[in-house]
Structure 1
Amino acid sequence: MTLSLDFVYDFGSPNAFLAHKVLPDLSRRQSVGIRNVPVLLSVIFKATNNQSPFQAFAENRKKSAYLTHDLHRFARRRGLNFHMSPHFPLNTKFAMRGALFAMGKQWEKEYIDAVFDAVWVHGQKIDDLNVLTDVVHERGLPVRKIREAVASPDTKQRLKDQSKEAVRRGVFGVPSVFVGSEMFFGKNSLGNVELELSRQA
């Protein structure tokens, strides 16, 4: 049996950014592929009556401070470049439609890397379509085709449908990783993802 994992993500999540950065090493160690599954957190939160931890604990200063500290600690210990976005929270609908369009294409990883880095390394406001266009242009990606896809009602609907399908699988937030039918939520569960991959190997 060939093992693989599904990585369910939204560019607006700092935890998804950090998970995205460490998953390639995990996949190499375990000799598994990664299927990136873009979703809209806004659709998932509405369907599951959920919200981001930064919103949920906005009035709890100690919890909010810990959440931020944990992000930076995770990045620091793994040598990752990470900065909390000055525009957080962002509306990622344009970027996520582009990610849906990128699925299965040779430049999919380049697009994902470019947008994640734009948000969580360079602090760019990717909910501005012109900024997003500049980001993909700088990476030499097919700007015109991406812009057309972002504006397409079909892409918009397929992203909503994919988000709802993630909810049906049990997703309530991101990052979520699936090994078969087993779901693991959050960057701090990646150790358990690796244990599950070893178990199923």
Structure 2
Amino acid sequence: MTRSIEFWFEFGSTYSYLTAMRIEDAAAARGVAVHWRPFLLGPVFTAQGWDTSPFNIYKAKGEYMWRDMARRATRYGLPFRRLPESGPGAFPQNGLMAARMALIGLNEGWGEDFTRKVYSAEFAHGKDIADAGLLERLAVMAGAGPDVLARAQAQSNKDRLKANVEEAFRLGIFGAPSFIVNGELYWGDDRLEDALDAAVA
């Protein structure tokens, strides 16, 4: 039986950054294959009656998250920059186009590198990942062709992302990062090791 884990991530998610930058090494150490699954948290939040991240709605929770992110990034040896509360690049950032491009890249072999580059631009350097020009440059650096933006906007690709969101609902996913192992849901960067342990059990 193939040992595998599904990694569900959202580009606006702080904790997904931590996972994306370390999951391949952690999984390889256990002989586990990783299936990267981009989706959108916006529809998930809307279904719960929220119009933004709960880290913005509940201020104490948000302040804790930023401090926790700084601690965990230091623990993993990752650079980290807190995003502004308003204006371009404010938290949570719009990851729609990045997710669409990642879907193409994951089919073509450059999606994982692209995903890490986007997260690094966002949470290490404070860049606005809604900037299509930035995303195109990162995709080309990762190995995409020059037509990647147009292909990302194709209706068939939009439908693929919509299907991912619908599957996330079906699986009971309510946040990111999430991991699915043998039908079991694990939520949060701090549950990555638990999920990998389950994959080899």
TM-score normalised to the size of structure 1?
0.88
Distance in 1, Cα, partners of 2:142 & 2:193? 35
Distance in 2, Cα, partners of 1:151 & 1:104? 15
Distance in 2, Cα, partners of 1:48 & 1:101? 29
User: CA offset at residue 21 of structure 1?
Assistant: 1.6
Match of 1:56 in 2: 57
Distance 1:65 1:55, change over 3 A: closer
Aligned partner of residue 179 in structure 2, secondary structure: strand
Distance in 1, Cα, partners of 2:21 & 2:65? 18
Match of 1:93 in 2: 96
Match of 2:115 in 1: 112
Aligned partner of residue 37 in structure 2, secondary structure: strand
Aligned partner of residue 146 in structure 2, secondary structure: helix
- How many aligned positions are there? 195
Aligned partner of residue 162 in structure 2, secondary structure: helix
User: CA offset at residue 69 of structure 1?
Assistant: 0.9
Of all paired residues, the percent bearing the same amino acid is 30
Match of 1:165 in 2: 167
The partner residue of 1:177 within 156, 175, 179 is 179
> Larger RCO: Structure 1 or Structure 2 (Cα < 8 Å, ≥ 6 residues apart)?
1
> Contact conserved, 1:4 with 1:33, CA < 8 A, in 2?
yes
Q: Residue deviations 1:143-185, cap 9 Å, x none?
A: 4331112221221122111111111011111100111111100
Match of 2:147 in 1: 145
Aligned partner of residue 144 in structure 1, secondary structure: coil
Match of 2:134 in 1: 131
> Contact conserved, 1:133 with 1:143, CA < 8 A, in 2?
no
Distance in 1, Cα, partners of 2:195 & 2:68? 19
- Moved segments of 4+, more than 6 Å: none
Aligned partner of residue 104 in structure 1, secondary structure: helix
> Contact conserved, 2:11 with 2:119, CA < 8 A, in 1?
yes
Distance 1:129 1:186, change over 3 A: same
Structure 2: stretches of 5+ with no match in the other structure = none
Give runs of aligned pairs for residues 37-56 of structure 1, distance below 5 A: 37-49=37-49, 52-56=53-57
Distance in 2, Cα, partners of 1:169 & 1:11? 19
> Contact conserved, 2:105 with 2:144, CA < 8 A, in 1?
no
User: CA offset at residue 7 of structure 1?
Assistant: 0.2
User: CA offset at residue 79 of structure 1?
Assistant: 1.1
> Contact conserved, 1:43 with 1:164, CA < 8 A, in 2?
no
> Contact conserved, 1:6 with 1:34, CA < 8 A, in 2?
yes
> Contact conserved, 2:7 with 2:35, CA < 8 A, in 1?
yes
- The 10-residue stretch of structure 1 (83-92 or 33-42) with the greater mean CA deviation from structure 2: 83-92
Give the letter aligned to residue 7 of structure 2.
F
User: CA offset at residue 48 of structure 1?
Assistant: 4.6
Aligned partner of residue 199 in structure 2, secondary structure: helix
User: CA offset at residue 49 of structure 1?
Assistant: 4.2
User: CA offset at residue 66 of structure 1?
Assistant: 1.5
